[in-house]
């Protein structure tokens, strides 16, 4: 399939999808309480898309107007061959931006290979700077290896280094100032993300929820948050900077001030389904058709069909008991 410059991925609400987030594995070496199931992952290796299949779908998506790719999981660095996949995707015309979301535990060992493969930026997930709390949250005593990974990324020139923290009332909201302070000490983009009712029933999750407006108010007490003008390539974060700080603060209110109106994303799950939205169970199987000989054109039509199912806005809330059937580790956050 040759690349067509026009985006053919326009949904029924006139939004253009140019961003594909790909979960390359449902395996994760952490067991974050709010995310991962406590049982071991369930996908067998033949249920997972192969790296070759993922690359084929990227190529097809690129032909339709996808230009940004994020690899996530599970923990994407747990899957062998990520560097090879990145270097292939990098050579795919029309793909101009590749990023990875990682818990960082395995990064320091893989940073050089990922850099050589062409990765330029990384998002780390880190909800606490306290190693005891880290162990309590994730089930693993690995705070130091995450920190080493973040430092390795900074030293090797990955830019930007983003640190994403999910704010949980009564667990890490006492660390807002310490986490935000990282943006004053390092050129990091520290992003605060509202807790979403995904791994748990919405009513149970409500207890932990802290709205982004309250987070902003707290951070403002630390120093004035100076807004950074939005650019065309910005994601959902509202961006700020403390005066003189080398880094940035980002605020992402997925629940209280959702950004569905400007959502440009499609998702590919580890087991080969395209999804129009993180917060919906709607999905279309692309793996089965691919494995029974579907042409690029047929697979391209499945991208278009997935996008047609994208709702105007997600319907997830803390008021009902509606719970996502699919696990976050398989969809990819």
List interacting residues with ligand SAM (CB under 6 A): 28, 34-35, 72-73, 75, 101-103, 125, 164, 166, 193, 195-196, 198-199, 328-329, 332-333
Residue 199 vs 250, nearer CB to ligand SAM: 199
Minimum distance between the CB of residue 34 and ligand SAM, rounded to whole angstroms? 5
Please say which residue, 114 or 196, places its beta carbon nearer to ligand SAM: 196
**What Cα–Cα distance (Å) separates residue 28 from each residue in 39, 42, 79, 187, 329?**
11, 11, 9, 28, 8
Q: How far is the CB of 71 from ligand SAM (least distance, A)?
A: 9
Nearest distance, CB of residue 329 and ligand SAM, angstroms:
6
Q: What SS3 string covers the chain?
A: CCCCCCCCCECCCCCECCEEEEECCCCCCCCCCCCCCCCCCCCCCCCCCCHHHHHHHHHHHHHHCCCEEEEECCCHHHCCCHHHHHHHHHCCCCCCEEEEEECCCCHHHHHHHHHHHCCCEEEEECCCCCHHHHHHHHCCCCHHHHHHHHHHHHHCCCCCEEEEEEECCCCCHHHHHHHHHHHHHCCCEEEEEECCCCCCCHHHHHCCCCCHHHHHHHHHHCCCEEECCCCCCCCCCEEEEECCCCCEEEEECCCCCCCHHHCCEEEECCCCEEECCCCCCCCEECHHHHHCCCCHHHHHHHHHHHHHCCCCCCCCCCCCCCCCCCCHHHHCC
Task: Find the residue with minimal CB distance to ligand SAM.
Answer: 333
Taking the complex as a whole, how short is the minimal distance between the CB of residue 298 and ligand SAM, in angstroms? Answer: 30
Distance from C-alpha of 156 to C-alpha of 52, rounded to nearest angstrom? 28
Instruction: State in angstroms the smallest separation of the CB of 30 from ligand SAM.
Output: 7
Cβ 115 to ligand SAM shortest distance, Å: 19
**Looking at beta carbons only, is 170 or 244 nearer to ligand SAM?**
170
Nearer to ligand SAM, 56 or 323 (CB): 323
- Nearest CB to ligand SAM, comparing residues 150 and 300: 150
Query: For ligand SAM, which is the closer residue by CB, 302 or 328?
Result: 328
CB-wise, 103 or 290, nearer to ligand SAM? 103
Q: How far is the CB of 143 from ligand SAM (least distance, A)?
A: 13
Phi, psi dihedral angles at 225 (to 5 degrees):
-85, 110
Measured CA to CA, the distance from residue 38 to residue 187 in angstroms comes to 35
Residue 8: partners with Cβ closer than 8 Å, 6 or more residues away: 64, 65, 300, 304
Q: Which is nearer to ligand SAM, 64 or 85 (CB)?
A: 85
Comparing CB distances to ligand SAM, the nearer of 11 and 75 is 75
CB of 266 to ligand SAM, least distance (A): 16
**Minimum Å distance from CB 313 to ligand SAM?**
17
């Amino acid at each position: 399939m040759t690349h067509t410059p026009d985006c053919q991925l326009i949904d029924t609400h006139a939004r253009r999808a140019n961003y594909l987030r790909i979960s390359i594995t449902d395996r994760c070496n952490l067991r974050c309480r709010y995310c991962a199931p406590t049982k071991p992952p369930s996908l067998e290796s033949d249920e997972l898309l192969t790296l070759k299949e993922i690359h084929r779908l990227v190529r097809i998506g690129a032909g339709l107007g996808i230009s940004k790719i994020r690899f996530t999981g599970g923990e994407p660095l747990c899957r062998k061959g990520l560097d090879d996949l990145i270097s292939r995707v990098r050579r795919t015309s029309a793909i101009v931006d590749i990023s990875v979301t990682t818990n960082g535990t395995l990064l320091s060992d893989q940073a050089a290979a990922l850099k050589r493969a062409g990765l330029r930026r990384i998002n780390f997930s880190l909800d606490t700077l306290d190693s005891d709390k880290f162990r309590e949250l994730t089930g693993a005593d690995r705070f130091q290896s995450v920190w080493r990974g973040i430092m390795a990324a900074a030293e090797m020139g990955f830019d930007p280094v983003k640190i994403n923290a999910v704010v949980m009332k009564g667990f890490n909201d006492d660390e807002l100032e310490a986490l935000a302070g990282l943006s004053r000490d390092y050129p990091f983009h520290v992003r605060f993300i509202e807790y979403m009712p995904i791994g748990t029933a919405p009513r149970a999750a409500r207890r932990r929820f802290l709205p982004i407006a309250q987070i902003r108010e707290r951070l403002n007490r630390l120093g004035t948050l100076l807004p950074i003008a939005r650019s065309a390539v910005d994601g959902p974060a509202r961006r700020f900077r403390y005066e003189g700080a080398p880094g940035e603060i980002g605020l992402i209110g997925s629940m209280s001030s959702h950004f569905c109106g400007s959502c440009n994303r499609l998702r590919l799950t580890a087991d080969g389904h395209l999804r129009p939205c993180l917060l919906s169970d709607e999905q279309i199987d692309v793996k089965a058709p691919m494995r029974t000989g579907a042409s690029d054109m047929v697979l391209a039509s499945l991208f278009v069909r997935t996008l047609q199912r994208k709702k105007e806005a997600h319907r997830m809330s803390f008021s009902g008991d509606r719970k996502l059937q699919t696990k976050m580790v398989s969809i990819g956050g």
